[in-house]
Each structure stands twice: as C-alpha cells, then as structure tokens.
Amino acid sequence: MLDPTPTGPHSGGTPLLQTIGLTKRYGDFLANDSIDIEIWPQQIHALLGENGAGKSTLVKTIYGLIQPSDGEMRWQGEKMVLSGPSEARARGIGMVFQHFSLFDNLTVAENVALGLDGKESFKDMSARLEQVSNVYGLPLDPRREVWQLSVGERQRIEIVRALMQNPKFLILDEPTAVLTPQEADQLFVVLQRLKAEGRAILYISHKLEEVKRLCDTATILRGGKKVSTCNPRAETAASLARMMVGADIKEVKAAAGRKTTVPRLVVNDLGMEPDDPHGVKLQHISLELKGGEILGIAGVAGNGQDELFAALSGERQSMDPGTVVIDGQAAGHLSITQRRKLGAAFVPEERLGHGTAPRMKLSENALLTGHAASGMVQRGFINTAATLKTVDRATEAFDVRKAKRDPEAASLSGGNLQKFVVGREILRNPAVLVVNQPTWGVDAGAAAVIRQALLDLAAGGAAILVTSQDLDELIEIADRIAVMFHGRLSEPLATADASREKLGLLMGGSSLAEKETAHAVGA
C-alpha cells in the first residue's frame, strides 16, 4: 500500500501547488496568460475549458514538460522550478495522459518498469505492482502482455504506474473517455480514496456532469486566461459550459416529425479477419440503416470499431460484394472512391493523419476526399476555387477557427480540425455517412455544433452510423443503439429503452457473452 499523505484541506493555510501569474508565450501568441491557481491536499480540482483554452499548456508546465515564460510555481509554499518530468515526479507530481504510452508486446510489469527509476529489482517491483493494483481496486496481472488487455485495463496500468511513485498530486487528463459507465464508477471510488488519503487531484474532462459529481472546485480557462474558479456542484452543466465558451450553448434538437425512408446502408453477415496481429476479428455483423435514421454503436475502444469502419468505408474490401450494400447497390468489394461515388461519406476517428494529411492545406485535404464526387476536378484539372469554397463553407457553417483562410491541417486545434473534417463530409450532403467518434476530445460548444449537424443531415434523409464511446452523445442523437464487443454487434435497442446501465453491461460483454455461448451450443 502507498504511504498516505495525511494533510487535510487548507491545513496550515498553504496550498500544495500554487501558480502565480503563470504565463507561456509562443511568439506573439499567449497560450497561458497570467494564470493564478491554488490546489490543496484532499481536493479534486477540475480544469475546464474549450479546445485551445490553455489547459494542456498549463498541465505540461506543472509537470515540467515545458518551461513558463513568466510567473512562478510554488510547491508547498516554496518556489519551484522544474527541469523536466523526472524532477516533477521526484517532488510527488504524477500525470496520467489521455493517450496511453504503452508497448503492446511487453507485459504489464515491463511497461510499468519503464516509467520507474529502477531502484528495486524487477521481481520486487512486480510484486509491489500487483499489491498496489489490488489495494486500490484496479487489479492487474503483471505477467500479461498489454495487447491482450481491454482499454479499461490499459488505463489501469497508467494509473497504477503513477500511484507506484506515491504522488502527493496527480493530474488526470480525460480519464473516463475510454471507460464503460461501470468502470468510470470504479475509477471515481479510487479517486475519492486518494483524496481521503490527503492527495490532490487535478481533473481534466469535457464531461460536465461527471465534474459536478466528482470535483470540489473548478478552474475555468478561456482564451489562455483564467475566467472563473467555482464550486461545480453549485453550478449546472449549462452554466459551466457558458463560462467555458463565453456564451450559451445551443440546445441540440432533432427535427420534429423526422421520417425514415428505405434502407440506405445494409450490412449482411459481415466477417473479416484483422490485418493487424493484435486486431479484432469481425464476426457475423448485420445491420439495416434507413434514410432519416441515426444508428449509434457503443463500445469500449478496441472491440472491433476500427475494423468495422475500415470494412464500411472500403479501406478493406470483402470477397463478397453483398456484405455491404449502399443505396441498393452491392459495395463490399468496392474501394473508398467507388463508395463515395455511390453517395457515401466517411469520418475516421483519427482526425490528424487519417482524416487529414497534417502538412497539407485545408483546401488540399478537401480535395483528397471530395474529388470523386464533386466539382473539384474538371477535365483532369483541379478547380482551386471549388476546393477553397469547401473550406470557406465549412469554416462558416461549423465555426472553424483558424489564423488564415487556408492553413495547414496541423496548425488547427483538435476541436477546430474535427469541426472541419466533419463539416467537409456533411456539406457534401451524402446519402450515407459513417462517422467514428464525431466529438472525440472536443469541447461542449464544438460538440453541440457537430451533433446538431448530424441531426439536420438525418432530417434531410441521410442514413447515419455513429460510433462513439460517449454514451451521453449516443443517447442524445441516436434513434437506436447497438454495442460492439469482441468483434460482434448486439441487436440494436431503441434509445428510449437503452439505459446507461444496460448499455454498460453490454459494453462489458455480459449479454453478448451469453449469446455467443448459446450460438456455439446451437452450432
């Protein structure tokens, strides 16, 4: 078990961590502008803000990854200058990043060892890892290879690795983004225990209801400045979002009287072996999606969602053309471009690298996906005006914020790039849209814009398939919800019947496991 830090909140009148006028400049751009923040022992402190508000810069400074341009940090009342993360960890500052830093082919213990100082033997470290993980209700088998683990188990590794350094202060960046509701509840129990032991937690999340439930204090950043510190439990999700964006978030509403038409996307008993040795095999997947309908697919990452997207988009083709049918035409054997010509559009999960080429301009990225079914290429020549018009339309319709008219994709913040990628495809007015994680890592304002656009597209008669790990998102916009687990797809539930508890159990495999057993017995 870890050594507790038995310090009560505000004891002695000195914060555990304090920043005073903390500033970070990049040329003329102020990423952090004179930020003052106090974090106390026995406190779970939320850090909120839009994409690009300065959250990442602030926590990277606190963790020693970047150096401030001005201002200072104080640790337990004394001025602190960090040369790097190792010095931050030595002082008792730990961080769990949103994106995992794990090697799939190494064991749990080997991955943890890479993040420690190596002062104890591998055998002793492995035993301590198992003990700490069990004590905190995050059980791990040190001998298992990471590729065999679920995403929730992988996150446990990151958290336990941080806990094994006995931190006084722990930074968590979007920790529930990849968890089932039940796994998130267990994480909250762990965090409350760490708080009771006297530790401080800085908690970054876009899920405002969970912030209200968990956090004692919230600091809100906007445009690099601190705009408020408040008690989130005394606020509503809407008032927190208003402070984050500086304006009311428009309510997402489906069009009244939306009607469904004929099936526009049909999948018939789709099975596919993975092309990655650690990938997921698709098994007996069937679905029917009508025009005017949004079908949500829930599930913990790594259960076949990426493989299904590749099969539907044409990144991987099937030997049987009839496994995928778009607007009545067999398309399982067709390429991405051929499927786009049938009226389909696709938005992958990874916006930078998969959805866009980072070093290409937005207009050039618009051309990459739009040339097959638009006026961007005429008689073999690129119509530059048409590519720029797509950029302008997406900018206006989806509030894409950028420094100039046609910048490189990599220059946009994550949320703004996501709005561009989704907008680029929606503005084509596709018959079928397949979108993977439409609001991954974007703030409340951007998420509302994207979700409303999906509802409006469905109201116009498009068939939309949305894969998301955000159950609140699916419940808000989907007509039916199915769950992916180990490469299989559950029967869709009407959203009105799809409680978070029921979906969480499906995401954990309970009902699907029973169906698999019954299927095997029947065979």
Residues near 77 by beta carbon (within 8 Å), at least 6 away in sequence: 14, 15, 18
Say whether pLDDT at 100 is over 90: no
Say whether pLDDT at 324 is over 50: yes
Say whether pLDDT at 466 is over 70: yes
Helices (H), 119-180: 122-135, 151-163
Say whether pLDDT at 304 is over 60: yes
Residues near 255 by beta carbon (within 8 Å), at least 6 away in sequence: 455, 456, 459
Assess if residue 44 is contained within a domain: yes
Average pLDDT, the chain: 89
User: pLDDT confidence of 28, banded at 50, 70, 90?
Assistant: confident
β-bridge pairing 17-26 and 70-75 = antiparallel
Residues 232 and 312 in one domain: no
DSSP 303-320: SSHHHHHHHHHTSS--SS
> Domain boundary at 179, 214, 245, which?
245
> Domain boundary at 245, 280, 313, which?
245
Residues 241 and 273 in one domain: no
User: pLDDT higher for 179 or 452?
Assistant: 452
Assess if residue 299 is contained within a domain: yes
Residues 339 and 211 in one domain: no
Residues 517 and 434 in one domain: yes
Residues 291 and 178 in one domain: no
CA distance 503 to 493: 9
User: pLDDT higher for 480 or 9?
Assistant: 480
The region of weakest confidence among 42-46, 310-314, 441-445, 483-487 is: 441-445
pLDDT at 511: 58
pLDDT at 12: 55
Assess if residue 227 is contained within a domain: yes
Assess if residue 204 is contained within a domain: yes
Average pLDDT over residues 299-316: 92
pLDDT at 294: 97
Say whether pLDDT at 2 is over 80: no
DSSP code at position 497: G
pTM (2 decimals)? 0.78
Q: CATH number of the domain that 501 lies in?
A: 3.40.50.300
Question: Model confidence over 237-290: pLDDT tens digits?
Answer: 889 999 998 888 888 888 877 888 999 999 999 999 998 787 899 999 999 999
Residues 174 and 290 in one domain: no
Assess if residue 252 is contained within a domain: no
Residues 209 and 338 in one domain: no
pLDDT winner (highest mean) among 215-224, 247-256, 377-386, 445-454: 215-224
Helix (H), strand (E) at residue 213: helix 208-214
Residues 338 and 206 in one domain: no
List, in sequence order, every residue forming a beta bridge with 324; answer none if it has no partner: 267
Average pLDDT over residues 434-445: 85
Residues 331 and 434 in one domain: yes
User: pLDDT confidence of 196, banded at 50, 70, 90?
Assistant: very high
Assess if residue 481 is contained within a domain: yes
Cβ pair 290, 328 in contact under 8 A: no
Assess if residue 293 is contained within a domain: yes
List, in sequence order, every residue forming a beta bridge with 294; answer none if it has no partner: 464
Quote the domain boundaries for residue 49: 11-92+166-245
User: pLDDT confidence of 517, banded at 50, 70, 90?
Assistant: very low
Cβ pair 75, 231 in contact under 8 A: no
Copy the structure tokens of residue 448: 């509302």
Residues 275 and 179 in one domain: no
pLDDT at 99: 74
| Distances 315 to 282, 294, 354 between C-alpha atoms, Å | 15, 22, 11
Domain count, the chain: 2
Say whether pLDDT at 520 is over 60: no
Residues near 234 by beta carbon (within 8 Å), at least 6 away in sequence: none
Copy the structure tokens of residue 179: 């968890």
> Domain boundary at 245, 276, 291, which?
245
Average pLDDT over residues 59-83: 95
User: pLDDT confidence of 6, banded at 50, 70, 90?
Assistant: very low
Question: Model confidence over 380-428: pLDDT tens digits?
Answer: 899 999 999 999 999 999 988 888 999 999 988 777 899 999 999 999 9
| Distances 419 to 295, 297, 313, 445, 471 between C-alpha atoms, Å | 21, 21, 20, 11, 20
Copy the structure tokens of residue 240: 């927190």
Look at residue 345 and give its three-state secondary structure: strand
Assess if residue 505 is contained within a domain: yes
From the CA atom positions of the chain, what is the Rg in Å? 24
Residues 63 and 176 in one domain: yes
pLDDT at 182: 80
List, in sequence order, every residue forming a beta bridge with 483; answer none if it has no partner: 298
Copy the structure tokens of residue 249: 């978030």
Cβ pair 59, 204 in contact under 8 A: yes
Could you tell me which of 498, 503, 482 has the C-alpha nearest to residue 305? 482
pLDDT at 10: 57
DSSP code at position 291: T
Residues 50 and 195 in one domain: yes
Say whether pLDDT at 372 is over 90: no
Say whether pLDDT at 8 is over 60: no
| Distances 302 to 28, 112, 179, 255, 507 between C-alpha atoms, Å | 41, 21, 11, 33, 11
